[in-house]
Amino acid sequence: MSLILHAGKSNKNAYKALIAAEYAGVQVELAPNFEMGVSNKTPEFLKMNPIGKVPVLETPDGPVFESNAIARYVARSKDDNTLYGSSLIEYAQIEQWIDFASMEIDANIAKWYYPRAGYAPFLPPAEEFAITSLKRALSALNSHLATNTYLVGHSVTLADIILTCNLYLGFAYILVKSFTSEFPHVERYFWTLVNQPNFRKIVGQVKQAEAVPAVQSAKKPSQPKESKPKAKSEPKAVAKKEPEPKEEEEEVAPKPKAKNPLDLLPPSKMVLDEWKRLYSNTKTNFREVAIKGFWDMYDPEGYSLWFCDYKYNSENTVSFVTLNKVGGFLQRMDLARKYAFGKMLVIGSEPPFKVKGLWLFRGQEVPQFVIDECYDMELYEWTKVDINDEAQKERVNQMIEDYEPFEGESLLDAKCFK
């Protein structure tokens, strides 16, 4: 069965179906040479969607428009997947969150963003109302996500896909860090999902907006184009010229990749991979072999050790949510694999669990690029280890070797980043 999606490559409404297709194992192809403002104005397109908006899905049984309906079609076209839940109540909850994502999140982000981008009249009281309504929705969502990794059940459903695509528009264009940090569970949820391989494949790397866009004067309604200009990716909504995400601009004029400043440090006698190998290969006599080996290799000029302590331990009331949070953190640290080794302990036999860790970083500071790229960093208090202090050194040893009881408590889990 071949399904053809008519949309440009960077349309967040089309992402919903494309991500659902990845999860469900369904083949969906983007219509070749689709050009926003041209392809969606042709008589053939208007036959598929009389309102002329994208996306549209062409199926063997006829066309479907409206991105949520398209995503539902894709999710349902394979029986053996869990995108649609597995009980009557789950089906209903998934629908509930899809409507919430569309009406409370997407609509309010659009009412805030589009007037600023020049696609609708800008009216300050209307903006204020949109922001208040969005905060109300995000605050409810934040509470739900404090004890749930996903919206419904214990795995990604269509509701997560649709909500994340809607949040994407906000995070990429208008929801700056100072706004989203009021909703830490929503942040954790968004960044975790958007970095899952099935999302990443479709959406690419997402960067959070750095500033709320200044108000643009209203743009004229777009006219269908006569001739094909140079390929430029499609706008995300309403009109034709929505600003493109940064990485797409970079695609047009790629800048040479700057060298990581950590690569410019004087060489170190410590070879990180050698330590990682020793850690992984030591199965017995850990203290005598691995820990001793660590200190023999350790180069305090080329590397530094850091303790981290989660700032919001009182929120760690559900074990699997806490474990997923730490797992997500380690996934996001992937960008630092060449320069870091870490141990993260989830401590306690009952909630609230404490999350503490030990990190070895190249250089003398917590690397700035990690702070910039990995939002989890600011959820922890960072303290440099003083290796001349024997008690601190012993704490390092215990963290590396998953020593129990750790500071008088049992470990729920110990995860290693290597």
What are the strands, taking DSSP E only, across 46-176?
A: 56-59, 62-65
Beta carbons of 134 and 76 less than 8 angstroms apart: no
Rg of the chain in Å (alpha carbons): 24
Residues in the chain, total: 418
Site string for ligand GSH, 237-276 (x = CB under 6 A): xx--------------------------------------
Nearer CB in complex with ligand GSH: 13/196: 13
Separation between Cα atoms, residue 391 and residue 375, nearest integer Å = 30
Nearer CB in complex with ligand GSH: 22/106: 106
Beta carbons of 311 and 381 less than 8 angstroms apart: yes
Site string for ligand GSH, 5-24 (x = CB under 6 A): ------x-x-----------
Site string for ligand GSH, 53-72 (x = CB under 6 A): xxx----------xx-----
Q: Which of 52, 204, 243, 327 binds ligand GSH (CB under 6 A)?
A: 52
- Residues paired with residue 308 on neighbouring β-strands, in sequence order: 357, 382
Smallest separation (angstroms) from ligand GSH to the CB of 406: 50
DSSP 8-state class, residue 386: -
Q: How many CB atoms lie within 10 A of CB 69?
A: 12
Separation between Cα atoms, residue 24 and residue 20, nearest integer Å = 6
Using the rule CB under 6 A, give the single segment among 115-123, 231-239, 249-257, 272-280 that binds ligand GSH. Answer: 231-239
Nearer CB in complex with ligand GSH: 155/216: 216
Q: Does 236 bind ligand GSH (CB under 6 A)?
A: yes
Q: Does 142 bind ligand GSH (CB under 6 A)?
A: no
Q: Is the peptide bond before 352 cis (omega within 30 degrees of 0)?
A: yes
The residue with tokens 């995070």 is 171
Site string for ligand GSH, 363-402 (x = CB under 6 A): ----------------------------------------
Binding interface with ligand GSH (CB under 6 A): 11, 13, 52-55, 66-67, 236-238
